[in-house]
């Protein structure tokens, strides 16, 4: 699967050709190796659709949130963390809100917090 794109990974998962674990592994590989911003955006979106649950993947996303250079990828990563790890999201989201300067990224994060059912996360907006 060396040159596969995130949409193909999702399709293979939906068709039962690969497991959820394998799909998340391939998506992580893309994020680890690709510098193409659109590919990274699409990949984070696919991660959100697949809905990771493991502590290991949370740590990967948390690290991505901290180290990512592109504001769109940071915003989408924050959204995936909020949606998939609401009980663990407070600290990384608080951290990014204190440091993020890009208005579009902040708007994306704020909308994700607003849609969250976690009242603790919602305190970050006040």
pLDDT tens column, 67-123: 999 999 999 999 999 999 999 999 999 999 999 999 999 999 999 999 999 999 999
Q: Contact, 41 vs 27, CB < 8 A?
A: no
The CA-based angle 70-74-79, given to 5 degrees, is 150
Percent of the chain topping pLDDT 70: 98
Average pLDDT over residues 36-55: 96
- Give the pLDDT score at 1: 47
Domain boundaries of the chain, sorted by first residue = 74-126
For the chain, the average pLDDT equals 95
pLDDT band at 7 (very low <50, low <70, confident <90, very high): very high
Q: What is the pTM of this model?
A: 0.93
CA quadruple 82, 83, 84, 88: dihedral, nearest 10: 30
From residue 9, alpha-carbon distances to 3, 20, 31, 62 in Å are 11, 10, 13, 22
- Give the pLDDT score at 87: 94
- Give the pLDDT score at 3: 73
């Amino acid at each position: 699967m060396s040159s596969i794109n995130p949409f193909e990974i999702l399709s293979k998962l939906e068709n039962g050709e690969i497991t959820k674990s394998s799909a998340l592994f391939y998506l992580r590989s893309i994020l680890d190796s690709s510098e193409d911003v659109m590919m990274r955006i699409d990949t984070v979106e696919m991660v959100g659709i697949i809905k990771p649950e493991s502590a290991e993947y949370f740590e990967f996303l948390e690290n991505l949130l901290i180290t990512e250079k592109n504001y769109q990828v940071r915003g989408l990563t924050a959204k995936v963390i909020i949606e998939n790890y609401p009980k663990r999201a407070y600290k990384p989201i608080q951290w990014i809100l204190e440091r993020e300067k890009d208005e579009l990224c902040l708007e994306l994060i704020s909308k994700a917090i607003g849609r969250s059912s976690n009242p603790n996360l919602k305190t970050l907006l006040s």
